[in-house]
Amino acid sequence: MFILALLIGLYSYSIFFLGLAHQLFKPQLSVISILLLLFTVYISLSYRPVLLIKLFVNKLYRLNKIGTVFLFFLIAQLLINLIGSLGPELSFDALWYHLTLPKMWLSQGHLSFYPGSVFKYSAMPMLTEMLYLPALALGSEVLAKFIHYLFGILTLIVTFKLSRKYLSIHYSLLTITILSSNLVFSWLQITANIDLARTFFETLALYLFLDKKIYKSAVSLGLAASTKLLALGSLPIYWILAWRQKISFKYPIYYSLLTITILSPWLLRSYLVTGNPVYPFLSPLYTDTRISLNPTDLWTVFTRSADPVNPVYIISAPFILFFLIRQNRSRGGANLGIYTGLALFVWFITPRTGGGRFILPYLPALSVPVITRRQTKSDFLSLNLNYASGDYYDTENFLAANVPPGSLIYVAGINNLFYLNYPFLHHSVSVVPPPTSYLLLRPSQTAFSPPPGWVLVHTSPLSQTRVYAPSQP
């Protein structure tokens, strides 16, 4: 599993360096993808895949009735999520920047930083978004969603391996069935977000650490931080675990250095373009810094979170505590309990901007103990996007029918622009529209008004937007 994580990281960083070299084009992406595929096949053959498949099938035949039921529910859940992953993207964050930024970079052929509040995350570590670039180069956000769906499956696999350290195969199947039953997990599997990628790398880091593969664990945590910077919050957890295991003082230092080294290309890029290695953190643009120390928040995240988490964790809390105490006495499982407690503390002191998503990377550890109607993509998006929250789609097909391809669109009052298939300049980047562009506005979300010389040419009642064109002399 570590080899697979390493290959994913190498692939992502290869695309990252292509972007820095202004070579972010379909032919170059195709070459990188083909080379990685060939290398992956070569590596896979060394593991004798036919023999591994036979061993896997034999284990399935040995499952008892309870294990078979758990496996049935797990497969059913994954198939349902697969159907959802094959539809158009609706997720707010994906349409805001997870997909929109890669789409913009593809149109320019390189990684760019966009100042202003709307695209403030364009300097952040984006390991997973690099994986979405080849998918978008093929013209499919659905393929990007499928990539994130696969990260969900990888998370379940590594969680199963983690649970097998303490549980039988049948209870390990129950563990991953519980994890996959979280609504936040299922929702993320049908979106092009990044949280399942982070969860995979973080869970792998824990599994490798408990397996005494310290440096591999550090690399995995570095990949998690390259996916989402908040994963660095797990570093102190491993310092404490290393201290408890009486590991030499040098190992926590090496662990931290290796984790930061994996992350460093992203930090260096951010520093060079913004002067701040962790931009937009520690800048005026990042305002989501409220930290609540209300202990009832822990109850809320497991019962009434905006991104729902399975309440079974709260219901079974006494049994989880009993399990961890027993493991501490009999099989050295205290590190898992310490990790779980410290992980909850790390979440507790993190700003509450992610609901259940921000606790998801730690749920695998906590889980151990415990036909649609036919319609066009255009119709689907027109009816299901949340325009009030900043989404956009050319619902009446006005732009496609009246605006020449390649025309620059000046945008104000709209954030989530993935489905705008024109080059655009956002009001947050430049307060003055170029004279040769078209104006796309959502008046209810901006104080910007068209300057003299612009003519209203279209109003969309559904998306609550207006289109202006330069007046003819």
pLDDT tens profile 15-33: 999 999 999 999 999 999 9
Integer Cα distance of 319 and 322 in angstroms: 5
Vertex 57, ends 78 and 200: CA angle to 5°?
A: 40
Q: In angstroms, rounded to a whole number, what is the distance separating the alpha carbons of residues 449 and 79? A: 48
CA atoms within 13 A on the CB side of 70: 20
Does residue 134 lie within any of the structural domains? Answer: yes
pLDDT band at 374 (very low <50, low <70, confident <90, very high): very low
Domain boundary among 251, 271, 293: 293
Q: pTM value?
A: 0.85
The reply to whether 400 and 277 lie within a common domain is no
Tokens representing residue 43 in the block: 């590596």
Residue 54 counted as domain residue = yes
50 and 164 in one domain? Answer: yes
Residues 81, 188 within the same domain = yes
Local structure of 68: helix, strand or coil: helix
- The listed range with the strongest mean pLDDT (71-80, 216-225, 375-384) is 216-225
Q: Which residues contact 192 (CB under 8 A, 6 or more apart)?
A: 89, 91, 94, 98, 99, 132, 141, 144, 145, 147, 148
**C-alpha 87 chain-centroid distance:** 18
Residues 148 and 272 in one domain: yes
To the nearest whole percent, how much of the chain has pLDDT over 90? 39
What Cα–Cα distance (Å) separates residue 41 from each residue in 5, 38, 53?
Answer: 15, 5, 15
Is residue 142 situated within a structural domain? yes
- Which residue, among 101, 118, 95, 149, has the nearest Cα to 384 in the 3D structure? 95
Within-domain flag for 216 = yes
Instruction: Show which of 248, 271, 293 is a domain's final residue.
Output: 293
Structure-model confidence comparison of residues 224 and 62, the more confident one: 224
In a domain, 458, yes or no: yes
Whether the per-residue pLDDT at 66 is higher than 90: the answer is: no
φ, ψ of residue 455 in degrees (nearest 5)? -120, 130
Q: Does 397 lie in the same domain as 280?
A: no
When divided into structural domains, the chain yields a total of 2
Query: Which is nearest to 206 in space by CA: 364, 341, 313?
Result: 364
Does 414 lie in the same domain as 289? no
Boundary (domain end) residue, out of 239, 267, 293: 293
pLDDT at 387 over 80: yes
Cα(51)–Cα(11) distance, rounded to whole angstroms? 27
Q: Do 420 and 286 belong together in one domain? A: no
Same domain for 282 and 425, yes or no, is no
**Block residue for tokens 């979440």:** 347
Query: Would 345 be classed as within a structural domain?
Result: no
Task: HSE, CB side, 13 Å, CA atoms: give it for residue 1.
Answer: 24
Task: Note the pLDDT of residue 332.
Answer: 47
Strand partners, 454: 470
Q: In the prediction, which pLDDT does 361 show? A: 66
89-98 tens-digit pLDDT: 888 899 999 9
> Rounded to an integer, what distance in angstroms lies between the CA atom of residue 463 and that of residue 392?
7
341 is a domain residue: no
CA distance linking residue 372 with residue 174, whole number of Å? 29
Domain co-membership, 288 together with 388:
no
63 shares its domain with 185? yes
Structure tokens at 434: 């170029």
Q: Residue 133: inside a domain, yes or no?
A: yes
**Lowest mean pLDDT: which of 186-200, 348-362, 384-398, 432-446?**
348-362
Angle among Cα 413, 290, 189 to the nearest 5 degrees reads 65
Domain that holds residue 386: 377-470
Do residues 43 and 172 share a domain? yes
